[in-house]
Amino acid sequence: MHDTSAKQLIVFTAPDCAFCKQFKQEIVAQWQSDMPIQEIATSQPPDGLILEKPLFATPTIVLFQQGKEIARYTGYEGDKMRFWKWLGFQLLTPDQQRIAFEQGTERPFTGSHLDEKRPGTFVDPITGAPIFRTDTKFNSGTGWPSFFNPVEGAIVLVEDNSHGMHRVEVRSASSGIHLGHVFDDGPPPTGKRYCINGNVLKFIPD
């Protein structure tokens, strides 16, 4: 019997389904989120979980909460960012969605983790992938959590010419969400200031 109180993902697969194997390799095998995910090779949900309607394709990824289906993602053809965006719209608050998917910015001194100093890791709120460690965090006085170095491979940088400015946007490499911007006025050893919206980080203490 499943714990039906929290959210959980069930991946419905089928034998000889190439896209199911691809989803397993590209998503399930890299899974770092603390939300449970389970693969089953049947069209019937485990005991205690209720589907809203029958399945018609594989893989189908269904999000359950309190035992009932609340969202589903049907089919997978290798578009990882599309899947993570779907999941992000299920897990994030409207304010987090605005930052993550519309390049929004929280007001200074209003976001999460500004004063977080405990040893630990700041992770992507959708994928759970590590992005920054506390020992690279510094007080920039700007009102946003600031870091001088990301976890290796955790981010991608994108040229941003919006609002009449030339800036460099920071996105999560795992989910593609907008995190903030990077500037060249940070401390040694990198001289970088990764100016990040705290509301789209999740903190996991060591």
Residues assigned a catalytic role = 195
User: Who's near 25: CB < 8 A, 6+ residues apart?
Assistant: none
Unique residue bearing structure tokens 């976890």: 151
CA 200/CA 126 separation, integer angstroms = 9
> 85 in the Ramachandran plot: left (φ > 0), alpha (ψ -120 to 50) or beta?
alpha
Q: Could you list the beta-strand ranges (E) of 44-160.
A: 60-65, 68-74, 120-123, 130-133, 137-138, 146-147, 155-160
Unique residue bearing structure tokens 């594989």: 58
Would you list the DSSP string of 59-71?
SEEEEEETTEEEE
